Amino acid sequence: MNWITNYVRPRINSIFSRREVPENLWRKCDECGTMLFHRELSDNLNVCNNCGHHMHITPRDRFLALFDGGIFTEVAVPEPLADPLKFRDQKRYPDRMKAAQKTTSEKEAMLVAAGEIGRTPIVAAAQDFSFMAGSMGMYVGNAIIAAAEEAVKLKRPLVLFSAAGGARMQEGILSLMQMPRTTVAVQMLKEAGLPYIVVLTHPTTGGVTASYAMLGDVHISEPNALICFAGPRVIEQTIREKLPEGFQRAEYLLDHGMLDRVTPRTEMREELIKITRMLLGLPPQIVGDLPAPDKSEQAANDANGAADAPTSGT
């Protein structure tokens, strides 16, 4: 009986039991509800194939799609004080940081990298909204300054992808001080005559919008991104009026002159290549190279061309 219970029955159950499909193979679109296969979604840069809704994408995945061959070099960022205010709400600030680092596998809310797009050398910085809502703390301020200094040192344009819920409350006034610090960093680029391009992604709000996110030479946005200082709900409660449809969305801001372009994520790389080369005064990018001709074939072609050339008589 023990042999049947302990061996035969589990063996039969393992043979005939249904295999469960892993949950991470499919993802539901937040906008239209379509179930999307994870590989197709990843290949389309986390943009829904059905409705075009732009889902969250990490800075690392964004850089892999942006830089030539997915090759880039991370730029070191100075480490700030870990917990300057000894802040505690429902959790201690260091505990929140450890949880965010474990969830995102990143050190902080911004990644800075250097590489080439369409053979155009650039420095890029991107915020990660999944890391404590991409909040702007001292590390983010240090990251933007490090990106600007690297761009000035290498004489490259800076492309910044913003995504934030505002300043980091756990750092208090120190987080608000990043607004003037990052403004000075942007001024360094302007004095060096280097382009500063901002790509605003969903959402970009609070003090980020009031500082480095709106100081670019060119402002591009992904479709339907929320871009504001105070959110629509706060404004409606303050003025007690209904706001227009699509208020503070990318398309609305484009129509009212606050943005230069609204570009889908799948077309963003080509757009950035064109704009950076234009601002640097470079010719259009080389899309592909023809292989170098074989020397023996080239010599034979030159000989044939010389034989076929007309001669002048006297």
pLDDT tens track for 124-172? 999 999 999 999 999 999 999 999 999 999 999 999 999 999 999 999 9
The distance of Cα 279 from the centroid of its chain, to the nearest Å, equals: 21
Query: Domain residues for 224?
Result: 56-285
The tally of domains found in the chain comes to 1
Cα end-to-end span (Å), the chain: 116
Q: How many residues appear in the chain? A: 314
Please say if the pLDDT value at position 231 is more than 70.
Answer: yes
* pLDDT the model gives residue 265: 97
User: If you average pLDDT over residues 8-24, what whole number do you get?
Assistant: 61
Tell which residue, 126, 136, 275, has the closest CA to residue 200: 126
User: If you average pLDDT over residues 103-125, what whole number do you get?
Assistant: 96
Is residue 173 one of the residues assigned to a domain? yes
CATH number, domain containing residue 97? 3.90.226.10
Q: Say which residue, 20 or 74, is predicted with more confidence.
A: 74
Is residue 219 one of the residues assigned to a domain? yes
Is residue 1 one of the residues assigned to a domain? no
Please say if the pLDDT value at position 10 is more than 80.
Answer: no
Is residue 142 one of the residues assigned to a domain? yes
Please say if the pLDDT value at position 18 is more than 60.
Answer: no
Taking each helix axis from N to C end, the angle separating 265-279 and 59-66, rounded to the nearest 10 degrees, works out to 60
Is residue 31 one of the residues assigned to a domain? no
- Binding-site residue positions for Zn(2+): 29, 32, 48, 51
CA–CA dist 97, 25 (Å, integer): 28
Confidence of residue 314 (pLDDT cuts 50, 70, 90): very low
| pTM of this structure | 0.84
Please say if the pLDDT value at position 247 is more than 60.
Answer: yes
User: If you average pLDDT over residues 211-220, what whole number do you get?
Assistant: 97
CA–CA dist 260, 105 (Å, integer): 34
Confidence of residue 72 (pLDDT cuts 50, 70, 90): very high
Q: Say which residue, 276 or 16, is predicted with more confidence.
A: 276
* pLDDT the model gives residue 174: 95
Is residue 114 one of the residues assigned to a domain? yes
- Binding-site residue positions: 29, 32, 48, 51
Confidence of residue 294 (pLDDT cuts 50, 70, 90): confident
* pLDDT the model gives residue 113: 98
